[in-house]
Structure 1
């Protein structure tokens, strides 16, 4: 069991590996999200209701998250762009499935943050376009979803909203810590280069 887990972990790391740290970060985030998606129906069942039918539709986005590293190997920009696009698409789908009372639209915030961090200054057009899409989706679609597929009572919606708020906050924290590490590594490399030149 442990050896199987180690092999799977090694395979995931190899799949996510990329010499470009921003691409590697996108790959890691995408695999983290994909690996957590199977637990979402369990969270709903445990916190709210035995009726978790709507949750199974969220797996429609899983292939897109899993495809990020493969796409990034062919085209770095396309691979990085696919991550926030998959996140935005999954958020829109979830808002239709569970309704805006579920507060699932909060995931548009980390989608926008990820889009801003994944691209370099000369690629800013992509980051700004994806961030604008994330917040445009909220502004334009928030009141247009209609009757959700899943209906819950006020207590259940409160539990679902807490789950989504905590999950989005944890994702945002993970992303910022990840990019803080990338920045620290860049600073160490710059310091090392400066010392070599000074020597």
Structure 2
């Protein structure tokens, strides 16, 4: 256990930030990056032994890993980098696997993350990134051309299920994080109210 304690604390320290929205972006980014190495394994176990295309998805990993570092330099840029990296990875994956893989469903959590990460005064940034996520789907869906990966109908059905479950899990994880932020804000508000009435 002690062997794991130091690396885990290092990751926690890297993700830590006094602003809860920035800290949330950091955690989400690191969770996504930590799950990327498993994607080829899921593909191998659940879809096909042809996982060549999956290796190219690692091109986005450095961008997810960089989110906490960028946040220390500029917290708005760091938060924006998370959904932008997600959108970029989705476009790359749609080209690699084809739209029949349903990988474009990841644009939904990208849009949700964009709307949650920014404050009301930053709403323009949130709306711009969300518009980009949906614009990518509307404009590029039929323009990717032949995918690098070639699967049969049954394999594409399995890949679609994998992507739908993954995107749903990511969206639920994001919702869980932000429900925690709201609960903490409510506790702080209640504590402040108790002090005033006490």
TM-score after normalising by structure 2: 0.98
* Structure 2 segments unaligned to the other structure (5+ residues): none
1:27 is aligned to 2:30: no
SS at match of 1:169: helix
| Displacement of 1:7 | 2.0
Q: 1: distance between equivalents of 2:69 and 2:53?
A: 29
Structure 1's consecutive aligned runs of 4 or more residues displaced over 4 angstroms after TM superposition are: none
Tell me the distance in 1 between the aligned counterparts of 2:32 and 2:138: 25
1:180-195 → structure 2 map (5 Å cutoff): 180-195=179-194
* CA–CA distance in structure 2, aligned partners of residues 54 and 158 of structure 1: 17
The DSSP-based 3-state class of the residue aligned with 1:51 is: coil
Rounded Cα–Cα distance in structure 2 between residues aligned with 1:5 and 1:113: 33
- Give the Cα separation in 2 of the matches to 1:181 and 1:163: 27
- C-alpha separation in 2, matches of 1:137 and 1:145: 11
Aligned-residue Cα RMSD (Å) equals 0.7
Matched, 1:128 2:127: yes
Deviation at 1:191, TM superposition (A): 0.8
The separation in 2 between residues aligned to 1:62 and 1:4, in whole angstroms, is 25
Are 1:75 and 2:91 an aligned pair?
no
Once the two structures are superposed, residues 84-126 of structure 1 have per-residue CA deviations (whole angstroms, 9 ceiling, x without a partner) of: 0000000000000000000000000000000000000011001
Aligned to 2:84: 85
Q: Distance in 2 between matches of 1:22 and 1:82?
A: 13
The yes-or-no answer on 1:56 pairing with 2:45 is no
Q: Distance in 2 between matches of 1:5 and 1:155?
A: 40
Aligned to 1:152: 151
Structure 1: 5+ residue stretches without partners? none
Partner SS for 1:145? coil
Match of 1:174 in 2: 173
Deviation string 1:3-33 (CA, Å, 9 cap, x unpaired) is 3322221111110000000000000000000
In structure 2, what is the Cα distance between the partners aligned to 1:119 and 1:144? 31
Residue 36 of structure 1: CA displacement? 0.1
Distance 1:87 1:4 in 2: 32
Once the 2 structures are TM-superposed, how far is the Cα of residue 48 of structure 1 from its aligned partner? 1.7
Partner SS state of residue 63, structure 1? helix
